[in-house]
């Protein structure tokens, strides 16, 4: 087990500087354009693929970093560049992780390369879990998958929403109910291959922020996939369902809490995204305050501005500390006895909203225009308190973990 440290090693620093250079030289100059276009920035994704950032190998190296700091460091730098473009670059990783976590070796080798494509023909993937009536309440999921034993096929029907890359993805990973009586333990994940009949894009959302990231509904109308597309395979699913039924008889709350623990482990990555956006806005505000003069002196000389900057920096550093702690705990198998994953996501996301708003205030009228990036950063920051569990859900998880109450 790696010791917890706030000091990056030489290799991590090299990766950080490399990512920062890409964010500064490639992502930032294109951010305003793709935000206005509200389209997937394919040329930027291709550039990321050419240098090795948009690849499974890169994310696997960061994910398996024994210190736990690889992923939060990478997310912070990319989202420092721009949240919308960065999400387009990392969004495929959600689907890839779903296959890595649940798939067989054959499934991993078959489908993950198809998610990324190659440098000449980049592809994206989509992870489809949320539904119109089942966001935070995953037990209310309605998308059903029914096994057709005669044909060894699964038939999937339902509607997914808020799917990053939904409908435009080469490969979709879809979570569906296979046993309604087991709640979230009765779910399974399926690969939907390219050009599968019955899968289509529904509404594409025109969003307040992260507009360079494609977000849409995914419609599944009698979608048939081979039995080999069930992640993990039928035998493993049957065994898992049997164990879940037995546990449900003995104590259903233990089943629910185990499911919530899975979500806890993924939240520090979102927290790191928020830290990156907050840091970017802070740096713009700091530079502006140093150079903008009013009444014959830089506005940073005014206590009202200087104190805001002090609070901004303090909150950002605190958010990073919580995020790195949770990431280290997750990679080293430390239990989140106080919902530390939710703590990091809650504090970092609220910090991003507050810091970007303060940056606009420091820039005054300029901050409210699209001539300066803090207006876009503020719009982008709003998503962090919503996706991967709202701030209210994080507080619910934290409070119930502390009190010992069941997390439903």
Catalytic residue, chosen from 371, 375, 388, 392, is: 388
Q: Give catalytic status of residue 388 as yes or no.
A: yes
Task: Tally Cβ neighbours within 10 Å of residue 307.
Answer: 10
φ/ψ of residue 167, rounded to 5? 90, -30
Structure confidence at residue 262 (pLDDT): 44
Structure confidence at residue 136 (pLDDT): 63
φ/ψ of residue 104, rounded to 5? -80, 170
- Cα gap 233→200, rounded to integer Å: 25
Structure confidence at residue 251 (pLDDT): 62
- Cα gap 17→22, rounded to integer Å: 9
Structure confidence at residue 100 (pLDDT): 87
Cα–chain center distance at 257: 21
Q: Do domains 10-121 and 257-403 have the same CATH topology?
A: no
Instruction: Count the helices and strands in the chain (H runs, E runs).
Output: 12, 11
Mention the CATH class of domain 10-121. mainly alpha
125-250: which CATH architecture? Beta Barrel (2.40)
The owner of tokens 């209210």 is 392
- Cα gap 331→265, rounded to integer Å: 9
- Cα gap 102→256, rounded to integer Å: 19
Domain ranges of the chain: 10-121, 125-250, 257-403
Nearest alpha-carbon partner for 377 in 80, 86, 90, 89: 80
Structure confidence at residue 265 (pLDDT): 58
Asked whether 343 and 326 are in contact (CB, 8 A), the reply is yes
* Mean pLDDT by groups of 10 residues along the chain of 408 residues: 84 96 98 97 97 91 90 97 97 90 93 94 94 74 95 97 96 95 89 97 97 97 97 93 82 44 70 98 98 93 96 98 95 90 96 98 96 98 93 93 78
pTM given for the model? 0.92
Assign 3-class secondary structure to 243-271: HHHHHHHHHHHHHHHHHHHHHHHHHHHHH
Instruction: Classify residue 230 by its DSSP letter.
Output: B
257-403: which CATH architecture? Up-down Bundle (1.20)
């Amino acid at each position: 087990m790696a010791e917890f440290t706030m000091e990056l090693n030489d290799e991590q620093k090299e990766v950080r500087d490399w990512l920062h250079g890409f964010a500064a030289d490639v992502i930032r100059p294109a951010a305003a354009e793709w935000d206005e276009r509200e389209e997937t920035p394919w040329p930027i994704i291709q550039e990321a693929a050419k240098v090795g950032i948009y690849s499974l190998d890169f994310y696997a190296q960061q994910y398996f970093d024994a210190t736990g700091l690889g992923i939060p460091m990478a997310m912070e730098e990319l989202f420092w560049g721009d949240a919308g473009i960065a999400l387009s670059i990392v969004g495929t990783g959600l689907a890839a992780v779903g296959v890595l976590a649940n798939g067989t070796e054959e499934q991993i080798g078959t489908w993950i390369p198809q998610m990324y494509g190659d440098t000449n023909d980049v592809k994206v993937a989509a992870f489809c879990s949320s539904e119109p009536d089942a966001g935070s309440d995953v037990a209310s999921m309605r998308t059903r998958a029914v096994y057709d034993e005669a044909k060894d096929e699964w038939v999937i029907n339902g509607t997914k929403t808020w799917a990053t890359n939904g409908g435009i993805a080469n490969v979709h990973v879809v979570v569906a109910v296979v046993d309604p009586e087991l709640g979230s333990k009765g779910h399974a994940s399926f690969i939907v291959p390219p050009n599968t009949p019955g899968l289509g894009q529904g509404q594409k959302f025109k969003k307040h922020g992260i507009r360079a990231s494609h977000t849409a509904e995914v419609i599944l109308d009698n979608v048939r996939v081979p039995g080999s597309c069930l992640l993990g395979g039928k035998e493993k699913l049957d065994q898992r369902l049997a164990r879940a039924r037995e546990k449900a008889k003995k104590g259903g709350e233990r089943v629910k809490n185990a499911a919530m623990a899975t979500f806890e482990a993924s939240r520090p990555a979102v927290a790191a995204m928020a830290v990156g956006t907050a840091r970017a806005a802070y740096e713009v505000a700091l530079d502006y305050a140093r150079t903008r003069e009013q009444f014959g002196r830089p506005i940073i000389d005014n206590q009202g501005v200087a104190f805001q900057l002090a609070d901004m920096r303090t909150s950002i550093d605190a958010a990073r500390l919580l995020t790195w702690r949770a990431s280290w705990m997750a990679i080293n198998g430390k239990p989140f006895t106080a919902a530390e994953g939710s703590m990091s996501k809650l504090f970092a996301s609220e910090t991003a909203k507050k810091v970007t708003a303060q940056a606009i205030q420091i820039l005054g009228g300029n901050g409210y225009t699209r001539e300066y990036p803090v207006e876009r950063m503020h719009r982008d920051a709003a998503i962090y308190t919503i996706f991967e569990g709202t701030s209210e859900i994080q507080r619910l998880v934290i409070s119930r973990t502390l009190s010992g109450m069941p997390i439903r």
